[in-house]
Amino acid sequence: MNINILTDQEAAILRETIAASHRIVVCAHKSPDGDAIGSSLGWAGYLRSLGKKVDICVPDMIPDSISWLPGAAGILRYDRQPELVQRAFDEADLVCCVDFSSEGRLDEMDHVLLGCKTQRVIIDHHLAPNLEAKLLVSQPHASSASDLIFRVVWQLGGFPQMDQTWATCIYCGMMTDTGGFTYNSTQPYIYYIICLLLTKNIDKDKIYRNVFNNARIPAVRFRGYLMNEKLQVVEGLHASFYTVTRKELKKYDFIKGDLEGLVNVPLTIKGHKLSISLREDTDIDNRILVSLRSVDDFPCNKMAAEFFNGGGHRNASGGKLHCSIQEAEQIALKAILAYADMLK
């Protein structure tokens, strides 16, 4: 199976650019998820195998479910080590952006990236890239940035050097961005890549357990409470939403990652098509963080753009509102009703 994605010209540019670089920054988006970290570590693994000095920089905290990945402990966080991140960018002769391709995805770290005049390579699967780059690998149909990293490494001839550690990171990114291969994961090439990764002795069952069976006790109780007490199902429209307030976050001793994936749970209701999570931000007053998940061809990215100042993928999107949680509920309801014809 041909899994190459670069044209010959792109592959030549990338080879030459990497060959001419010694210090490389790999950076990924704020609130990094399994794919952001998996693709960063996978790409860094390849670059290090070529003898490059690589710093991975992210804006903020890596969730606990991902922090066990080999190499994750060495990642620089801008919110903790701004000087080291700035220095890494200053000293780099190549910056690689993975799993994002637009401005605004790095929060405060954005100005470090935008202020850095070093040449840039971008490898991403999100729609509407707007960052400039010497080479932009933008493949919105790919299941994850990690699968793109695998295919680029494969095409550049790096597979023989791939060891179990970066294979684990790449698998983890592919697995998390497809909800454990339950959505956006029907393309045959994905399983061809998995087959190749398994030859590197990754323990796929353990990777799954480490990521998905990793909850803290208060988190399990919190999730139960939200599904039991807060889920509002919109009758007849196969859609639902729930809110999470700061008070509740405090009561259940919330830490980042505790509610990861909860927005998928309402989709286990028979026939359900859309699930929306509305969570009060703990940092900024009156900011509501919105997550949307859908099935089949329901475009929750369109809904996110239209109603929640956001975007994303067809079946997994997000956004933000600047209002009270009560107003956010009304907006969610309005959004669902606006799409009633598709949800019936």
Q: Write the interaction track for ligand 5GP spanning residues 121-160; mark x where CB under 6 A is met and - where it is not.
A: -----x----------------------------------
Q: What is the closest distance, in whole angstroms, from the C-beta atom of residue 323 to ligand 5GP in the complex?
A: 15
Select from 144, 291, 294, 315 the one that contacts ligand 5GP (CB under 6 A).
Answer: 291
Q: Site mask, ligand 5GP, residues 304-323, x = CB under 6 A?
A: ------xxxx--xxxxx---
Please, which residue, 10 or 110, has the CB nearer to ligand 5GP? 110
d(CA 78, CA 30): 10
59 binds ligand 5GP (CB under 6 A): no
Reading the block at residue 143, the tokens are: 């299941």
| Tokens matching residue 31 | 């609130």
| Binding to ligand 5GP, residues 254-273 (CB under 6 A) | none
Nearer to ligand 5GP, 202 or 300 (CB): 300
Which CB atom, from 266 or from 311, has the smaller least distance to ligand 5GP? 311
Report in angstroms how near the CB of residue 322 gets to ligand 5GP at its nearest. Answer: 12
Cβ 318 to ligand 5GP shortest distance, Å: 2
For 299, the 3-state DSSP assignment is coil
By Cβ distance, which residue is nearest to ligand 5GP?
Answer: 318
| Residues binding ligand 5GP: number (CB under 6 A) | 11
Taking the mean position of all CA atoms in its chain, how far away is CA 115?
24
Q: Which is nearer to ligand 5GP, 105 or 202 (CB)?
A: 105
| Residue among 280, 284, 264, 260 at smallest CA distance from 272 | 264
Q: How far is the CB of 83 from ligand 5GP (least distance, A)?
A: 28
Q: Residue 25 phi/psi, 5° resolution? A: -100, 130
Cβ proximity to ligand 5GP: between 168 and 291 the closer is 291
Calpha distance 272→7 (Å, rounded): 40
Report the nearest approach of ligand 5GP to the CB of residue 241 (Å).
Answer: 13
**HEC per residue, 100-134:** CCCCCCCHHHHHHHHHCCCCEEEEECCCCCCCCCC
Structure tokens, 157: 């001839």
Q: Which amino acid is present at 242?
A: Y
Radius of gyration of the chain (CA): 20
Segments of 168-238 assigned E as strands: 232-234
> Using N-to-C axis directions, what is the helix angle for 145-155 and 34-49, rounded to 10°?
20
Instruction: Compute the C-alpha angle 49/55/60, nearest 5°.
Output: 135
Would you say 120 or 126 has its CB closer to ligand 5GP?
126
Instruction: Give the interface with ligand 5GP as residue ranges (CB under 6 A).
Output: 126, 291, 310-313, 316-320
